[in-house]
Amino acid sequence: MIRFKNVSKVFLQKKNTVNALQNINLEIETGDIFGIIGFSGAGKSTLLRTINALEKPTSGKVIVDGDEIYNLSAKKLREKRKNIGMIFQQFNLLETRTVWENIALPLKLNHTPKKIIEEKVEKILRFVELEDKKDVYPGKLSGGQKQRVGIARALATEPSILLSDEATSALDPKTTDSILALLKKINKELNITIVIVTHEMNVISGICNHVAVMENGQIVERGDVIDVFSEPQADITKNFVKTVIQDEVPEKLMQGIYEDTRNYELLRLKFLSSDSTESVLAQVNKKFDIETNILFANISEIQEQILGIHIVQILGSNSEISKAKKYFLEHGVTYRELEYHKKKLKEVV
Ligand SMILES: Nc1ncnc2c1ncn2[C@@H]1O[C@H](COP(=O)(O)OP(=O)(O)O)[C@@H](O)[C@H]1O
Ligand SMILES: [Mg+2]
């Protein structure tokens, strides 16, 4: 487990002081794929870098598997850092060394016997699917292949924690997906805890279990990825979620709603399984004297779960609408009443 206790970091720049981290308290469970998202300058990299002692907090403690990082002797810290691999946006490969040599480097620095280095590097090359590139120089590789080398090098010392700082931010979407799939395989098959810093919500929805949202050196929201996705609280989180789940009804569709003089409510329905909403919607139409009109429907797969968000206009008497709402809740579909259209209605009327 990685624990941050009241961690703050102040940078003294030429003209001003920057509070890069402000009293961060956070726990990252062993075995997790934990995402930290925020805009540029939020403090994500600084927070990540306190885990492997690349950045020393101004105050507070960072405790990794029971050891407080800045209380360790130099020798213990060296050992600890072998246990924490790191990958970067710009790959940080040595251009004058081959793929094989890049991966072998951390093992050489640790004075690992030559034969063991050879065995380990071959094994890792297979794992990241780069056996055929072992004698190639980084300059000849694509971005995705370079990141695979970066990952392989980070895995060489068999760490139990992998830190990823914007590792997919320089890659195209398809390559991003293949790197995310590799990270997931590393988490599952090698039991490595992964901490991912990113500004891309699709990285979080793609592979993370938990997420923390950072803004101005603070954590403004945190939780299970699926909860944060379905019910984002902070404005910044809502904006990030919007980049993956667009759940606002297009203005054109809303026009018809504004002009509708019948009695209705607008509901944002949320469900968490594959086919329930369709059938629940069909049922409420049959059982109650109402009419439903789907204005927006989104289905996303997050952590092997299906998250459905539908915006539905329900027409009918208040009592029939209430019955339908009760039926939703009884059948695992939660809802939120959308009020924004009413404000707009007042403007229109
Ligand atoms: N070594 C440094 N010296 C001075 N200021 C820094 C240093 N590293 C980061 N900062 C500042 O700290 C803040 C957080 O930076 P950073 O952790 O890199 O954010 P992020 O990774 O979220 O983009 C920024 O305002 C940045 O300019
Ligand atoms: Mg950064």
Q: Which residue has the tokens 């609408």?
A: 321
Could you tell me if the CB of 42 is within 6 A of ligand 1?
yes
For 101, the enclosing helix (H) or strand (E) is helix 99-109
Please report which confidence band the pLDDT of residue 92 belongs to, taking 50, 70 and 90 as the band edges.
very high
Does 15 have pLDDT greater than 90?
no
What's the mean pLDDT when you consider all of the chain?
92
Beta pairing class for 161-165 and 67-68? unpaired
Q: Give pTM, 2 decimals.
A: 0.89
Q: What's the average model confidence in pLDDT over 210-226?
A: 97
Percent of the chain with pLDDT over 70: 96
Give yes or no for residue 298 having a pLDDT over 80. yes
Given this model, what pLDDT does residue 349 score? 41
Position 207: which residue type? I
Which residues, including other chains, have CB under 8 Å from residue 342's CB and lie 6 or more apart?
none
CA–CA separation, 100 and 115 (whole Å): 14
Position in ligand 1 atom list of the atom nearest CA 197:
21
Q: What domains are defined for the chain?
A: 2-242 (3.40.50.300), 251-348 (3.30.70.260)
Residue 295, pLDDT score:
87
Residue 332 Cα distances to 180, 271, 277, 323, angstroms: 31, 7, 9, 15
206 lines ligand 1 (CB under 6 A): no
The pLDDT of 136-155, averaged and rounded, is 97
* Residue 348 binned pLDDT confidence (cut-offs 50, 70, 90): very low
Residues facing residue 281 across a β-bridge: none
Residue 342 has pLDDT above 70, yes or no: no
How much of the chain, in percent, has pLDDT values that exceed 90?
76
- Tally: H helices and E strands in the chain: 13, 14
pLDDT higher than 80, residue 142: yes
Alpha-helical (H) ranges within 208-293 are: 225-230, 235-242, 251-258, 276-287
Q: Is the CB–ligand 1 distance for residue 9 below 6 Å?
A: no
The pLDDT of residue 160 is above 50:
yes
Residue having the nearest C-alpha atom to atom 18 of ligand 1: 45
pLDDT of 68: 94
| 11 CB within 6 A, ligand 1 | yes
Instruction: Give yes or no for residue 13 CB within 6 A of ligand 1.
Output: yes
Beta pairing, strands 264-271 & 305-316: antiparallel
Q: Ligand 1: does its nearest atom lie under 6 Å from the Cβ of 20? A: yes
- For 109-123, how does the pLDDT look when each residue is reduced to its tens digit (9 = 90+)? 989 999 999 999 999
Q: Determine the Cα–Cα distance for residues 103 and 155; give it in Å rounded to an integer.
A: 9
pLDDT tens for each residue of 187-217 = 999 999 999 999 999 999 999 999 999 999 9
Higher pLDDT, 274 or 21: 21
Ligand 1 pocket mutation pick from 7, 14, 24, 46 by most atoms within 8 angstroms of CB: 46
Looking at the CA of 89, which ligand is closest? 2
Residue 273 CB neighbour total at 10 angstroms: 12
Residue showing tokens 């195209």 = 172
Assess whether pLDDT exceeds 60 at residue 337: yes
199 touches 38 (CB < 8 A): yes
Residues 6+ apart with CB under 8 A from 211: 34, 35, 36, 37, 204, 222, 223, 225, 228
SS3 318: helix
